[in-house]
Chain A
Amino acid sequence: MRGVHEKHLEETYSKTVFGFWTYLMTDCILFGTLFATYLVLHNNTFGGPSAPELFSMPFALTETLILLTSSFTCTLSKLAAYRGDKNKVIGWFAVTFLLGLAFIAMELNEFSHLVHEGNSWRRSGFLTGFFTLVATHGLHISTGLLWMIILIIPVCRHGLTPVSLKRLTCLRMFWHFLDIVWIFIFTIVYLMGSL
């Protein structure tokens, strides 16, 4: 018969992963609200610049590719975790972390350009919606980066325990989810904005 601790671990794993899925769905609604607001406000430029004047497609495409690549490396860490290869897990997460950092750096760069040109969130309803939507995603990515640091340190010290595997699974789900949200941002804000 299985010991009470093993059974407990197994149950916790299934509850946590399902619970985390549920959390992601609520987060999805939160983004949905921001998307809806952006779409309502995106023509309200109040005499200021509109989307085609502000956004550079190659820049946004680079951001997108970086983020998509990070999702790919994140999945590679999952394969490594299946094989129990601790060093590769750490390595792929390190790559993911750097790509995420590069994405955030690009986004901050874009924001600071906009603000310097006088097109901050104070300028119009459109820019308010844009900054909030994109920065909320950026804030999630930053949280993900912080979370990677918090989770990888115990892996370095104690190896791949069942608990750390469970948490890394949640983190990967979070990361992929943010990727999907970004694809919507890319489509609705940048692609449709450049038309």
Chain B
Amino acid sequence: MLGRLRDVYQHDFIEYAAGYSMLIGALLLIGYLTYKKKWKWLWKEYITSLDPKKIGMMYLAVAMLSLVKGLVDALMMRAQQALSVGESHGYLTSDHFQQLFTAHGTTMIFFVGMGIIFALMNLIVPLQIGARDVAFPFLNAVSFYLYAVGAGLMVLSLVIGEFSAAGWVCYPPLSGLAYNPGVGVDYWIWSVQIAGIGSLLSGLNFFVTIVKMRCPGMTLMKMPIFIWSILGTLVLILFAFPILTATIGMLTLDRYLDMHFFTPDFGGNPMMYINLIWAWGHPEVYILVLPAFGVFSEIVAVFSQKRLFGYVSMVWALAAITFLSFIVWLHHFFTMGASANVNAFFGVMTMLIAVPTGVKLFNWLFTMHRGRILFTTPMLWFLGFVFIFVIGGMTGVLMSAAPADYQIHNSLFLIAHFHSTIIGGVVFAFFCGLTYWFPKIFGYKLNERLGRYAFWCWMLGFLLAFMPLYFLGLMGATRRLDHYDVTTGWQPLFIVAAAGVVLISIGVFFQVLQMIVSYRQRKENLDTTGDPWNGRTLEWSLPSPPPEYNFASIPQVHGIDAFWSMKHEKVEHKRHYEDILMPKNTPLAVLIGGFSFLMGFCLVWHIMWLAGLSLAGVIICMVIRLSEKNTEHLISAKEVQRLT
């Protein structure tokens, strides 16, 4: 009846503390909402809303909470490594340490990285292409809830049961039933699978949105460069995520039905998993970083007060990266022992990616050249990105030489490399974009001074935390190390790295403070014009925050930087108002999310009858949605005119 849920799981003190602090946090939040009588508001304005702007804000909330959780994981790991040397074994058990690094990676990629990408897509894409909505608003809400369900399942594993200890890409045979019979890997499987399906659906939705819903005149080569970067990402999502779904599906079958895809005996092939997961995994890193490139391309032009240098070459660079990212996956495991020719092919392809990326970097620098640069916080994040990303990129090219990779494979050098690209690229771009678009989304600017403090903490913290890892890696320190010998002499460097993470945490503290202070001073920093930065793209032509229907009348576009030319050509546009249909709120999306959560939980604990019922619940919700009529409400032309 209750599956495996009857088994009692023993936690140690630290695991209890983590679990209960989550519980107490959730209870405090619930108490606060009840006290402020905010439930109805939350339900009407956000939970049941199909407005991509609202859904984007919810993505933001989940992604930022996940970021804090992932950061706490990182702090705990580095603290352990600073302490656990020689006689001392630190404060974490080996098993808990393994769960921590698995949870850290899974959180940061699936729930922070993907979360912020989809947040930006929801918030910005319709505004930049002159559309009122996304192609499938209901599907968009469902995708969000599937993503949130994944994050929720992972957090739940802190309280009920345990999380996977098999690393964030969950390699078999370690993640197989024979070596990992507990529920940890199952938690990983279902949280990633459900969130992954959400990402796939969302990718499809935005792909159709960009292809089909651009405003008149916006041909492909007149799209804002951010939209191009998103389009590249979407193509990658459409190609890569089905592979993830299938691969995790096969791992699931191995674990649940005793199949032999990846088992070491019965003719299974564990290396097949590793090939497949990286056939998804390598495009995934470009899924994360292409939008980051897009964000930087936007803000460099705006804050240099010039048009972007080399638009066409930017587009082709994006396309080249999109293509190349599918033929380099093997560089994640050169040590598999493929023949020298195979390794050479993948090595050369990997090196090639540096070319279009270099093109982009030079284009950004040339955009700045002879521009009137405004050193606002977004610009600081951009410059920090250039410095760190170039280091990350060059170490990447270094590792793409297979012989060198044999030496530093799975060492801390690799960890330092990909954190340079992902923190320097994706995370910095997120903060950059958030500061830039914050007034558009919320209607007031963020506090600049606290933003600068946060930037410098992140920047210096990053250098302290990851530069030592390059050296440690070259000295032979492998990743995922929870204990090492005194004679290695590594401890001072590990202590520096831990201090770096503390500095980053102070940066996050400043960011939280920045949010609070900016909210309290919002009256002084209101964005009344809708165009606080002298922007170039269509979103700045709208009031901040934009109305539900975004555009009262759909704009006509004649070139790149559409809003810039509208401002400067001073052509009087005769506004034509029309009736607008917008989707009504619906509780069905969140219901589908709820049933999926229950289904994931039941599958983890082998409560199959309830999992089946939850699946039926999902299907019934979909059928109800299909049979609903009048899912839109009409805003009449008169009403639109009155509101503008």
A residues near B, CB below 8 A? 4-5, 8, 11, 14-16, 18-19, 22-23, 25-27, 29-30, 33-34, 36-37, 40-41, 44-46, 121-126, 128-129, 131-132, 150, 154, 167
Contact = CB atoms under 8 A, between A and B. Distances in A.
Contacts of A25: 238
Contact of B259 (A14, A121, A167): A121
Contact of A150 (B135, B581, B623): B623
B267 A18 contact: no
Contacts of B259: 121-122, 128, 131-132
B136 A19 contact: yes
Nearest to B204: A22
How many B residues are at the interface, by size bracket? 35 or more
B246 A33 contact: yes
Contact of B267 (A4, A5, A19, A46): A46
A118 to B, nearest CB: 14
B325 to A, nearest CB: 15
20 contacts: A4-B579, A8-B581, A14-B212, A15-B208, A22-B208, A22-B238, A23-B204, A29-B242, A30-B246, A33-B276, A37-B272, A41-B267, A41-B272, A121-B257, A121-B259, A122-B258, A123-B266, A124-B267, A125-B260, A131-B259
B247 interface: yes
Contacts of B253: 121, 128, 132
A19 B626 contact: no
Interface in B255-269: 257-261, 263, 265-269
Interface string B623-644: 1001100001010000000000
B52 to A, nearest CB: 15
**The 9 A-B residue pairs with the shortest CB-CB distance in the complex, in nearest-first order:** A44-B267, A125-B267, A33-B246, A46-B267, A29-B242, A30-B242, A4-B579, A128-B259, A19-B208
B578 interface: yes
B266 A124 contact: yes
B453 interface: no
Interface of B: 135-136, 200, 204-205, 207-208, 211-213, 238-239, 241-243, 245-247, 250, 253, 257-261, 263, 265-269, 272, 276, 578-581, 623, 626-627, 632, 634
Of B200, B265, B581, B634, chain A has the most CB atoms within 10 Å of the CB of B581
A4 B578 CA distance: 8
A22 B235 CA distance: 10
A128 B263 CA distance: 11
Contact of B581 (A4, A23, A46): A4
A5 to B, nearest CB: 7
A125 B273 CA distance: 13
A114 B200 CA distance: 35
A26 B204 CA distance: 9
A106 B269 CA distance: 30
Given A22-B207, A44-B267, A150-B623, A122 B580 contact: no
Given A29-B242, A41-B268, A121-B253, 16 more contacts: A4-B578, A22-B204, A26-B239, A29-B238, A30-B243, A36-B276, A37-B261, A44-B269, A46-B260, A122-B257, A122-B259, A125-B266, A125-B268, A126-B267, A128-B261, A150-B626
B211 A18 contact: yes
A40 B266 CA distance: 14
A128 B268 contact: yes
A27 B239 CA distance: 10
A18 B258 contact: no
Contacts of A26: 200, 204, 238-239, 241-242
Contacts of A34: 246
B246 A40 contact: no
Contacts of B258: 121-122
A25 B260 CA distance: 27
B205 to A, nearest CB: 7
B261 A41 contact: yes
B407 to A, nearest CB: 29
Nearest to A21: B208
